[in-house]
Structure 1
Amino acid sequence: MITTFKDLFGTPPFQLDKDPLKHKIKEAWLYRKEHKYNQAVIVLEEAMQMATGRNNELIVSRIIDELANTYYEMGKLDEAEQAFRDLLQRLMILHTKKDDDPEFIDVSLKLSDIFAQKGKLDDAEIGYKHCVARQMKVIERHMAKYSINYGGSHDIPQVVNQYGAVFTDPLALYGLCLEQYAHFIARYREEKRIDDTAQLIDEALKISYQIYGINCFHTINMLNNYSALLINRNRFDLAKKYLEIGIDRILYIDECSSLLPGYYCNYSEALYHCGQRVEALQYAKKAVNLSQSESKELKNYTTRFLQDMEKDYKRHR
């Protein structure tokens, strides 16, 4: 699943380590980031053989973590599920992690997505609810350390500037829990529950504003991803509402240039199905113009999108 809150865990630096075993793990990580999954698995299997005689359970857990994430991104869900389950057991038994530690929450979110993809929707929902509830308690304790009432967010930007990631990482993880739970409901659950996702996304957006600011790629990407799910469920009214939050801001965020054509296509579709067809066509044409400096695939997509909309518009005039 694509998410927008940053990946907090298990991310090594780009420089490779002199230790051959750690070098192997980082080499596999780089292969995974380049989507060279088969090479990553081969390197990790070699690393596991090397680690067997080291008597270092932390290194073994790190290898299992990397292997689980590789299988997950490959779409090998059975292998990923087993590896993540093994990792959870190791986190609890060998590394004394609790179910509200960030490493545990991170793995639980991925397992929940695997359950959802396999059609085990009730199991998935239990997992997402668990992650949201546990991380909410973490946030309450975390805020108390800084003498901040979470509901009153006026002090948070000042604390973010002062403490940085030490303060923001638990918030970012809570935002990730909320966002992924909202996406799960919007993608898999019955239509009558889609309105419930707005409350989850609103809370996740509030966290994004606090950490990254209002005019940032992260917030725009959140709005776009959520709205795309709403469009797939024919909830064009709700998609339009959220896309409109960023429709003007996106123009002034340099990092969003590659996102603009797709964002405009989504907004155009939402407008069209809400009865604002002339304005929808205008945004579809803007998407085509903006895509000219992007990839061939994106140019072809926006062109087809405009052509299909123009045909439908002419049929219904």
Structure 2
Amino acid sequence: MIKRGILALKNGELNKAEQLLHVALKTAQESSNAQAVTYIFDLLANLAYQKDEYSKAEKLFKDVLQRLLAGGMETNDNAIVEISLKLASVYASMSDYEKAVQGFQFCIATQEAKIEKYGEQNLDEDTLLLWAMSMDWYARFLLNIHKFDLAKKHFIKAYEMSLRVNGFGHEQTAVLLNDIGSVCSLQKEYAEAVQYFEKAIASARESKSVDIGSFYVNLGTVYMQQNLLGEAERCCREGLVLSKKVKNNDAMEEAKICLEEIKKQKASM
């Protein structure tokens, strides 16, 4: 029943997923399967978050944390940190910035304490990547509240860890390079933005990322902001071609909007 619920979740059938998970929860509670109950609560919390039901997600994530801690799990366990990270993201979505910042900083500090104590080379990839993920999510939060310098600093740290653990030709590395480029663009640091977007494209080529078209459009937009319309058009056309190849509809739409904007700018010259 849990598997069917997860499958419905992956297919975007959120209401069906919720129904199946509630049936699974009833069965787990009746058979006193505490581990299954905790796991289903976590799935339901993620589902509530996807449906923008933030109060429900907050309650469920808190329930999961309490159950794990009551079961003897340490507060610095990766599972606790991961759920705390999701909870911080819920608070960010609820505009409870104080709790969001506390949550993100707890996750970062907890993982950093492990790195300091044991050394990067002695820790498993999950622990290191959870630190990078905490940095990444905190950076996105900072970006949303227009703290660009701080966001950039955290994105760079997340990227450096992804580079060390995942390597250059990894989807997550490409996404982080693109994010740094986006911050540079917002700061009007166009030359630096171009460098990061070009790196993101190179990384995306290696990882065969479906986002490569979006990265080309972002690069094109930076050229357009500098009035380099020939370069901008070349990038956005390439973005459109590559997005069509991988059937990335959102990126295709971005590319079309970019080309339309270039056309308008050319007409007004």
Query: With structure 2 as the length reference, what TM-score do the two structures score?
Result: 0.89
- Give, in angstroms, the shift of residue 245 of structure 1: 2.5
Between the aligned partners of 1:290 and 1:276, the Cα distance in structure 2 is 21
Which of residues 134, 148, 152 is equivalent to 1:194? 148
Pair 1:247 & 2:201 matched:
yes
- How many residue pairs match? The answer is 266
What's 2:161 paired with? 207
Match of 2:64 in 1: 87
1:285 corresponds in structure 2 to 237
Q: Does 1:41 align with 2:18?
A: yes
Alignment match, 1:27: 4
- 1:67 matched to 2:24: no
Identity of aligned residues (%): 24
Map of 1:129 onto structure 2? 105
CA–CA distance in 1 between the matches of 2:219 and 2:73?
43
Which residue identity is paired with 2:138? Y
Q: CA deviation at 1:68?
A: 0.9
Structure 1 letter corresponding to 2:261: D
> Aligned equivalents of 2:62 and 2:207: distance in 1?
40
1:182 is displaced (CA, Å) by 0.8
Query: Structure 1 pair 269/170, CA: closer, same or farther in 2 (3 Å)?
Result: same
1: CA distance, partners of 2:237 / 2:78: 44
Distance in 1 (alpha carbons) for counterparts of 2:257 and 2:38 = 47
For 2:128, the aligned partner's letter is: L
Please show how residues 257-268 of structure 1 align to structure 2 within 5 Å: 258-268=210-220
**How far off its partner does 1:267 sit?**
1.1
Counterpart-to-counterpart distance in 2, 1:98 and 1:271: 50
Residue 299 of structure 1 is matched in structure 2 by: 252
Q: Could you tell me how far 1:109 is from its partner in structure 2? A: 0.9
Moved more, 271-280 or 54-63: 271-280
Structure 2, unaligned stretches of length 5 or more?
none
Residue deviations 1:285-313, cap 9 Å, x none?
22233334343834344223211122124
Residue 236 of structure 1 contacts residue 274 of structure 1 at CA under 8 Å; is this kept in 2?
Answer: no
- Alpha-carbon contact 1:139-1:174 (below 8 Å) kept: no
Higher relative contact order (CA 8 A, sep 6+): 1
SS in 2 for 1:247: helix
Structure 1 residue 281: deviation in Å? 2.4
Q: Deviations over 1:249-290 (max 9, x none)?
A: 434x2522x322111001111232245443222212222333
What's the counterpart of residue 261 of structure 2?
A: 308
TM-score by length of 1: 0.76
Higher share of residues assigned helix:
2
C-alpha distance in structure 1 between counterparts of 2:54 and 2:244, whole Å: 37
CA contact (8 A) 2:200 2:215 kept: no
Structure 1 residue ranges without an equivalent (≥5): 1-23, 144-149, 151-155, 160-165
- Structure-2 change in CA distance of 1:127 and 1:296 (3 Å): closer
Question: CA RMSD of the aligned region, Å?
Answer: 2.3
1:223, 1:246 within 8 Å by CA — same for their partners in 2? yes
